[in-house]
Amino acid sequence: MAISTGDKLPDVNLIRLGADGPEEVSTASLTQGRKVILFAVPGAYTPTCHSAHVPSFIRTKEQFDEKGVDEIVCVSVNDPFVMKAWGEATGASEAGISMLSDASSALTKAIGMDFDAPPAGLVARSKRYAMYLEDGVVKVFQAEESPGTCEVSGGEAMLDAI
């Protein structure tokens, strides 16, 4: 069963590539006492993720800042090295968007947002969604029906929702 509005985000470790290599980041420390937008994509460099989803949050980053959002986090089941490279390639890192790896799918599975699409080479991936969290509690949750669309989970849709 997928996470929904009013639920507390489970505490799992994600990974970022820091100055000294991979480092764990707990979702509890990421969200405690903070307003966070967390959005997930099926895969780095995949067409919709690369050309629509990440750019929508780059475009709207300043507007989220004005609404008091402390951090925007992009999560994918890719490894932290890919997430760092993708953040640099898209301009997301420069825009201030945190690119975190859920390499083991711990968060993705814990919130019921995992899927497989073997014909496309996607196994143990995350469905496309975005959520607005306050102190770790889901205030807005918007998931796409299809992994190839970015309508309700994009930056503009989340701005309208909060």
The verdict on whether 49 is a catalytic residue reads: yes
Residue reference for tokens 């890719």? 78
Q: CA 144 to CA 4: how far, in whole Å?
A: 13
Buried b (16+ CB within 10 A) or exposed e, 41-54: bbbbebebbbebbb
Tokens for 3, please give them: 């996470």
Of these residues, 49, 72, 75, 138, which one is catalytic? 49
Q: Which residues are catalytic?
A: 49
